[in-house]
Amino acid sequence: MVITPLTNRCYLGLTGALHRKLGGGVIGATGSGKTETIKELGNALAMHTVVFNCSDKLKSFAVERFLKGVASSGAWAILDDIARVQVEVLSVVAQQISTIQRAQQQQAENFVFGGMEIPLVSSCAIFFTMNFGHTPCNKIPANLKKLFRPVSMVIPEYDMVAEISLYSLGFSNANALSKKIHTFFRLLFDQLASQV
Ligand SMILES: Nc1ncnc2c1ncn2[C@@H]1O[C@H](COP(=O)(O)OP(=O)(O)O)[C@@H](O)[C@H]1O
Ligand SMILES: [Mg+2]
């Protein structure tokens, strides 16, 4: 993972959210590095990060069991492409996340979640990613939105990612090569963007 000004801004947004015991929501085009950036931040802070692939078949009790594990182990959860989940389920998920965040803000050691008392490890955090274009952003219920600090990632710095990756692979003329790769990625990105 190459650290670029875009990933840095995303880190700032997410760590700001963590400081206020909120979650972070990264919104952007497919392939802009949303999931990887959150994972990389987790690695940098030595946090166990779990990516949860959301789907339209997801039920609230499945999320409840997952979040129970996250809260009691202090891990980080990334709800990947949250907009795929049905709105009714998202409303319930918002209540569940709100319960965890409230307990964190009160610095509780135990709290009641899903009808049972569970321990709370304060380092736990919940993030989501959302691909725009794929599903309308307004699908996300307001009670869920307010629990997350939004960060948007639009166009990744392909030339920088390519140049640093090439240098790390041993290419000495990475600067010239990265310009060619950049042009290729831009074309690919424009093509992908026109399809959604
Ligand atoms: N800053 C970066 N440095 C290196 N690779 C990156 C960077 N940003 C994205 N990538 C690569 O781009 C691909 C897509 O990233 P991903 O996080 O899955 O995108 P998204 O979640 O936005 O769809 C991954 O293979 C990832 O390794
Ligand atoms: Mg992703």
Q: What is the mean pLDDT of each run of 10 residues along the chain (196 residues)?
A: 92 95 92 93 96 92 94 96 91 95 94 94 95 68 92 87 89 88 77 68
Among protein residues, the one with the nearest Cα to ligand 1's atom 16 is 33
Among protein residues, the one with the nearest Cα to ligand 1's atom 1 is 2
| Ligand 2 centroid from CA 120, angstroms | 27
Three-state secondary structure of 44-89:
HCCCCEEEEECCCCCCHHHHHHHHHHHHHHCCEEEEECHHHCCHHH
Sheet holding 148-153, edge to edge: 49-53, 76-80, 125-131, 23-28, 148-153
Closest ligand 1 atom, residue 30 Cα: 23
Same-domain check for residues 46 and 132: yes
Among protein residues, the one with the nearest Cα to ligand 1's atom 9 is 33
CA distance 6 to 182: 16
Same-domain check for residues 129 and 163: no
Closest ligand 1 atom, residue 129 Cα: 21
Same-domain check for residues 105 and 179: no
| Ligand 2 centroid from CA 161, angstroms | 17
Residue 193 has a pLDDT of: 67
Residue 31 has a pLDDT of: 83
Q: Give the angle subtended at the CA of 20 by the CAs of 17 and 26, to the nearest 5°.
A: 15
Same-domain check for residues 103 and 120: yes
Q: Judge whether 24 and 13 are in contact, CB under 8 Å.
A: yes
Same-domain check for residues 74 and 162: no
End-to-end, the C-alpha distance of the chain in Å comes to 26
Closest ligand 1 atom, residue 6 Cα: 1
Q: How many domains does the chain have?
A: 2
Residues 6+ apart with CB under 8 A from 59: 89
| Ligand 2 centroid from CA 71, angstroms | 22
CA distance 162 to 175: 9
Same-domain check for residues 123 and 86: yes
Q: Which domain holds residue 43?
A: 5-153
Pocket test of ligand 1: the residue of 34, 36, 39, 189 to mutate, having most ligand atoms within 8 Å of its CB, is: 36
Among protein residues, the one with the nearest Cα to ligand 1's atom 5 is 1
Residue 96 has a pLDDT of: 95
Residue 10 has a pLDDT of: 95
CA distance 18 to 12: 10
Same-domain check for residues 70 and 144: yes
CA distance 2 to 165: 7
